[in-house]
Amino acid sequence: MIILRPWHYGDVNDLPTLASNRKIWDQVRDVFPHPYTRKNAEEWVFLQQGKKPATNFAIEVDGRLAGGIGLLLKEDIYRCSAEIGYWIGEPYWGRGIATEAIRLLVDAAWREFPQLVRIYAEVFPSNPASCRALEKNGFHLEGIRKNAVIKNGVIGDDMVWVKLRI
């Protein structure tokens, strides 16, 4: 069973083991620490405590931490948009967990944030599994931004996937 729940201090033990994986880091923004230390985990969990509204969640599978997912609410003229981001620990890959976590978060976002009309994700072309998870949730490829990012010292493209409130 997959649930999204608030981050709690018990996650500090498992978070570094799951998140300190180069394969994960290669597909996320550089702000995601690598290697991911216990101190990083403590700081992240502390930062999430008492946030209202909560927008970042632990992904739990059968009672165990499996990854993280969050929503970045945009501001000013973009206030009707939010960006979704997520990662799954490698032991949980290939089980449809990202697909279900995205579904749960998008459903909650439409309920909790009535101003939203657009949820989008930015994905590297080297991550087809993420593209499939988004597509299964009704996201469509809006565009490919050429030479828009730099990761591991290499300039590359990113793909923008979007879901509009119907």
Amino acid type, 142:
E
Domain membership flag for residue 150: no
Q: Tell me if the pTM is above 0.85.
A: yes
- DSSP-assigned beta bridge partners for residue 86: 69
Domain membership flag for residue 59: yes
C-alpha pair distances (Å), 3 with each of 53, 120, 134:
18, 21, 18
Query: How many structural domains compose the chain?
Result: 1
- Burial label for 34, CB within 10 Å (0-12, 13-18, 19+), is middle
Are 105 and 73 a contacting pair, CB within 8 Å? no
Domain membership flag for residue 101: yes
Closest CA to 97 of 48, 130, 144: 130
Domain membership flag for residue 78: yes
Q: What is the pLDDT of residue 50?
A: 87
Secondary structure element (H or E) that encloses residue 128, with its range: helix 128-136
Domain membership flag for residue 157: no
Domain membership flag for residue 159: no
Q: What is the pLDDT of residue 117?
A: 98
Instruction: Tell me the residue range of the domain where 57 lies.
Output: 2-117
Q: What is the pLDDT of residue 166?
A: 78
Over the chain (166 residues), the average pLDDT of each successive run of 10 is 96 97 98 97 96 95 98 98 98 98 98 97 98 98 98 98 94
Are 85 and 72 a contacting pair, CB within 8 Å? yes
152 Cα distance to chain centroid: 20
Q: CB atoms < 10 A from the CB of 156, how many?
A: 15
Q: Check which CATH number belongs to the domain holding 23 and give it.
A: 3.40.630.30
Domain membership flag for residue 38: yes
3-state SS, residue 38: helix
Domain membership flag for residue 135: no
